[in-house]
Each structure stands twice: as C-alpha cells, then as structure tokens.
Chains A and B, each alone.
Chain A
Amino acid sequence: AAGVIQSPRHLIKEKRETATLKCYPIPRHDTVYWYQQGPGQDPQFLISFYEKMQSDKGSIPDRFSAQQFSDYHSELNMSSLELGDSALYFCASSLKGGNTIYFGEGSWLTVV
C-alpha cells in the first residue's frame, strides 16, 4: 500500500540558510500534518492543512511557513535556520476526520 512520502530524507544546512521539505500524502488523503521531533523527544505538532487551507497551528516558529498544493502535497519552508532546528521532521496524512493518521519516514535536518 502507498504510504506518506517525504523528501529529502536527509539534509544538512548551515545556520541562517533556508530549507524546504516536501510531503506527498497517501492517495485520496486530504489532510496533512507536520511534526518536529528532537532527539529523545516526542513529536511536536507544527501545522496542518485540510483541502489546501491551514486547519490548525501549533508551535511553529515564525521563521517557518507551510502550504498545501492543489495535488495535496505539502511543503514546509524553514528560513534563518538555527542549530536548534536540527530534528526529524515528520509529515502525516489522513482523510478529513483524522480517524487514522499515517506518518512518513521523516526528513532529518541537521543545521551546522
């Protein structure tokens, strides 16, 4: 079965640079969620989209922005990167109602 696809899987950026993460949800899923997981921590909710509109917002820094496109894929844009942004970023998807939420394998971001 098709799963949530994230790219890139790994990226290394320098401080103050910009990074973009991409997420392709499971086919027919219309809701996308972004989470950040630091080393040894539980996933923290950043933002979600339903039908290309932002549906919920969590602890997402102002330096980060995200959007969902007409084909339902989503991109998380991170600017002015800081060392503390180094983490595993997960995308998840579901149908509206969120009864079953599936996660991708994550994108490892290392800021040096």
Chain B
Amino acid sequence: DIQMTQSPSTLSASVGDRVTITCRASQSISSWLAWYQQKPGKAPKLLIYKASSLESGVPSRFSGSGSGTGFTLTITSLQPDDFATYYCQQYNTYPATFGQGTKVEIK
C-alpha cells in the first residue's frame, strides 16, 4: 500500500495566519490526491481533489498544489472556523490510503 505522511502533526497558528500543510506519498501518485477537513465529532469534509481542484462551496482561501510525491494544502488568512484536523488521501493506487492527519490549533 502507498504510505501517506503528513507534516507537521500539529500546527499552532493565529487567525489571519497563512498555513501550509505538507503531504508526501511513498511513491508517485501523479495528481490523484484529495484533502479533507474534520472537526471533532464530525464527518470529514472534502476540500480539494485532484491535488488542486477546489470542491464546490469550499472557500477560496483553501488551495492545493503538487504532483508526484509532494503536495501542500495552503490556507491563506486562517479563520476561526478553520481550526480542525486535515487529512490527505491518495487515490492513484488501490487501496485508497490516508495521511495520519494534521491538527491546526489556536496559538
């Protein structure tokens, strides 16, 4: 299975900060990567698919980039609603696998 590694595991930031989360795949996955946001006790929510395509209804302060084995999720101007855990997921190779998550905390 393809291993997905996210960094950092935890990130402390303030409202208005620019935040970047990294996701690395153990082998090339082209651009077949999705990003999800999860709040405590809630289901994950799709933010980005195919590495950089914004899901309908997701604020434009979220963006994704990368290809091959390295990817980033960027949140420009962090908002109070953005404090959550973020997961990447590859869907290039069966089975789909997720990163371990990055928790964005209030600084």
Q: Do A and B bind each other?
A: no
**Which residues of B are interface residues toward A (Cβ below 8 A)?**
none
**Which residues of A are interface residues toward B (Cβ below 8 A)?**
none
